[in-house]
Structure 1
């Protein structure tokens, strides 16, 4: 316990992000003065005089300065108690120029303080410390800094040689580490966020029923989420469960903005038939829906103003969610109005140069598929090679039947459903992946069929 109190505790207190280190367990060593009442009575002194003598004997005293040969020296009396003998020599009173010391009226020993509790680890009593992180500090960074500091001071901990010649080394082992809990919590939310993104992509693929438009809309999600994390870093919003839940809640609205813009562009392209100026058409379509997009998102953002005014516990709980959802909606508006039109022009403009680009696209698919197989990503490799095969097949058969143009969309849809089932595993990991894929496909198909019937 003394090593914890006077060595480990002060070392960990200096770690960045640590507020306090509280010692627990073990015996707290203290000086114990057992007064002899008969001796006090014989010398005619009181217990308060003994207490005052102990108090006065354990302090440093300054005596200003002394000048020697025109040089001033600071004078300081060092009086801290370092041993039992130092305390025994403390003067209680002086009778006839004879000092009465503590050892004359009491017995001084080293002993344990009154027990207030103990720390048990694996059935053995140990001494330990509770590291308390500073308010607002990053818990993962603080825990890692504490681990690094423990590794630094571990070689300097005391050791002793046992009777059989072995060396017993004092070590520091973790009692409760929050790292795994934090990582599992964030991993759970990350998995939920990934599943929601995949489900959103499936809905986009089926309901939009056009691969290029679906690609444009789906590209909005990673860009907007990236802007959210940049804003969270700038405004110092912690990435906890509540904060990340704001992103999850806002995904539906974020996708809606991309759907509105891309569908309006597609409508303009269909109305014009032969497009002479693609950039002009996209610009007109974007200008047409931009006020409605900004108004809709602004209404949602303004509704969060009361949440930002919350204080105390409720403010600490709900403000991060309001911040992240506001960041998500703002980022989606910026991406939709400033980046998405450029991406639409890039994707939809390939049609005009299709004959010059198709072999390049096929080459990219082939290279990407082979690289995915080499990198161990079976799902990505199969998807890219399947897209390459359907691309070649559609070129040959699209002239006979226009329904073949939906074949790449079906391939991408099946690949996303397969990935969703692999991550989700609704039947459990003990069941085969095929059964999980069938269940996910049936569940999503039933929901989408219901939504499709509402549209009709």
Structure 2
């Protein structure tokens, strides 16, 4: 039999077997260091999310004009299991679920190709975009800004225009999702009675504001060997500039935006607020990890980057981390490591006591670290992270490893004793 031949070859080539075992053990130690670490296994589906924004429209209109065309056309992508759609006020979400063995970036490319052919079927101004290349368990760190002396609008501006761009450059980070506060915007509130009095319509006012919020370039003008670039600077920079925009001329008198509307700086309408510990509203961000990255390493890199970013924040502003999976990862991994070490020690003592033969016990005990090291080689080969479930499975398998070793040792001892007894009889 093949097993008998392997055992016979191993007995005749002990040195080669020892070298192979040592090589596998060294490879396993290297695999332990390279294996990604996370607290929980990623059991989410292999999916690509398509997000479409069409503000001001109701869920029924979003469903008919955006979600339905996208769902029906995205179903033709190869290796797709199914497509789900969700419509809400002003937004549409499409979830394309691929087969488990499909590469996520290949799937995203196929979705982008399909979206380029669907755009003409959607309403004007509607542009579907892909969601971040993260998974359902990709939210690895949440933080807020502790800024008691700065209003929410300024905090959100700091988050969106400084912190977000800095943290997005960290390797392994897919997206920094901002939350809380209010995004500042110019708001023009029209008076319907004045529109009726001046015989103006809403589209005329919108067109006038858009036409006066623009820049255009001219030609290059050379004079005395010096080149000058001609351009017009027309971007709106203050509330007064918006109020002074002429909309229509009546009897040589211009009707300005300020005559028919109130102009103010305010935040966009919000559907909710983010309150922390009952102490009031906060502004912050969510760090989304890229697909297939090492969560523990990404969190460490993000924290190091946050220390650099904190140097450029206004006085009195600092980060407040409210959720950190790194703490959970370290506590979970340390707990499993401690359990593994305790099991190895207890098993070794039990083996020594019951066998009471140091060579047999040593041959069994050596199998434990070698087998554990080799298991991490397989974890890396199949893309499995070191998490609570995988390490617990390894811990449970120690008993099986030792059991096989004891059976083989007892079997070998039995055959040797029988052979020794038969030899003694022949001598007698």
Shorter-chain TM-score bucket reads 0.5 to 0.7
Alignment partner of 1:129 is 2:285? yes
Q: Which residue of 1 aligns with 2:12?
A: none
Listed as ranges, the gaps of 5+ residues in structure 1 are 160-168, 274-456
Which has more radius of gyration? 1
Task: Look up the SS of the partner of 2:285 in the other structure.
Answer: strand
Q: C-alpha separation between the residues in 1 aligned to 2:302 and 2:182?
A: 24
Q: C-alpha separation between the residues in 2 aligned to 1:125 and 1:67?
A: 51
Q: Which residue of 2 aligns with 1:9?
A: 164
Q: Which residue of 1 aligns with 2:380?
A: 233
Q: Which residue of 2 aligns with 1:146?
A: 302
Displacement of 1:236 in angstroms is 3.0
Q: C-alpha separation between the residues in 1 aligned to 2:231 and 2:298?
A: 40
Q: What RMSD in Å do the two structures reach over aligned CA positions?
A: 3.4
Deviates more, 1:262-271 or 1:43-52: 262-271
Q: C-alpha separation between the residues in 2 aligned to 1:128 and 1:38?
A: 41
**Compared with structure 1, are the counterparts of its residues 103 and 271 closer, same or farther at alpha carbon in structure 2 (3 Å cutoff)?**
same
Q: C-alpha separation between the residues in 1 aligned to 2:264 and 2:306?
A: 33
Correspondence for 2:259 among 104, 112, 119: 104
Q: Which residue of 2 aligns with 1:32?
A: 187
Correspondence for 1:243 among 381, 390, 393: 390
Q: C-alpha separation between the residues in 1 aligned to 2:346 and 2:192?
A: 83
Alignment partner of 1:200 is 2:356? no
Query: Cα deviations across residues 23-67 of structure 1 (Å, max 9, x unaligned)?
Result: 222233221112233432333211122233344555565x5x746
Q: C-alpha separation between the residues in 1 aligned to 2:418 and 2:234?
A: 96
Contact 1:35 1:107 in 2 (8 A): yes
Q: C-alpha separation between the residues in 2 aligned to 1:57 and 1:207?
A: 91
How many residues are aligned here? 263
Deviates more, 1:73-82 or 1:170-179: 73-82
Correspondence for 1:113 among 263, 268, 277: 268
Q: C-alpha separation between the residues in 1 aligned to 2:322 and 2:212?
A: 39
Q: C-alpha separation between the residues in 1 aligned to 2:344 and 2:212?
A: 71
Task: Look up the SS of the partner of 1:237 in the other structure.
Answer: coil
Listed as ranges, the gaps of 5+ residues in structure 2 are 1-155, 421-428
Q: C-alpha separation between the residues in 1 aligned to 2:230 and 2:368?
A: 71
Correspondence for 2:320 among 147, 163, 173: 173
Contact 2:221 2:229 in 1 (8 A): no
Query: Cα deviations across residues 385-423 of structure 1 (Å, max 9, x unaligned)?
Result: xxxxxxxxxxxxxxxxxxxxxxxxxxxxxxxxxxxxxxx
Contact 2:167 2:302 in 1 (8 A): yes
Q: C-alpha separation between the residues in 1 aligned to 2:233 and 2:373?
A: 60
Query: Cα deviations across residues 183-232 of structure 1 (Å, max 9, x unaligned)?
Result: 22222322333333233223322332212211221111111211222333
Task: Look up the SS of the partner of 1:126 in the other structure.
Answer: coil
Displacement of 1:235 in angstroms is 4.1
Contact 1:88 1:103 in 2 (8 A): yes
Q: C-alpha separation between the residues in 2 aligned to 1:222 and 1:7?
A: 48
Which TM-score applies when normalising by structure 1?
0.50
Contact 1:26 1:119 in 2 (8 A): no
Task: Look up the SS of the partner of 2:321 in the other structure.
Answer: coil
Contact 2:273 2:281 in 1 (8 A): no
Q: Which residue of 2 aligns with 1:401?
A: none
User: Where is the helix percentage greater, Structure 1 or Structure 2?
Assistant: 1
**Compared with structure 1, are the counterparts of its residues 268 and 102 closer, same or farther at alpha carbon in structure 2 (3 Å cutoff)?**
same
Correspondence for 2:367 among 191, 202, 220: 220
Q: Which residue of 2 aligns with 1:340?
A: none
**Compared with structure 1, are the counterparts of its residues 262 and 77 closer, same or farther at alpha carbon in structure 2 (3 Å cutoff)?**
farther
Q: C-alpha separation between the residues in 1 aligned to 2:407 and 2:232?
A: 82
User: Where is the strand percentage greater, Structure 1 or Structure 2?
Assistant: 2
Contact 2:221 2:230 in 1 (8 A): no
Q: Note the 1:12-411 alignment, pairs <5 A.
A: 12-58=167-213, 66=219, 80-93=235-248, 100-115=255-270, 116-121=272-277, 123-159=279-315, 169-267=316-414, 270=417
Which is bigger in relative contact order (C-alpha 8 A, separation at least 6)? 2
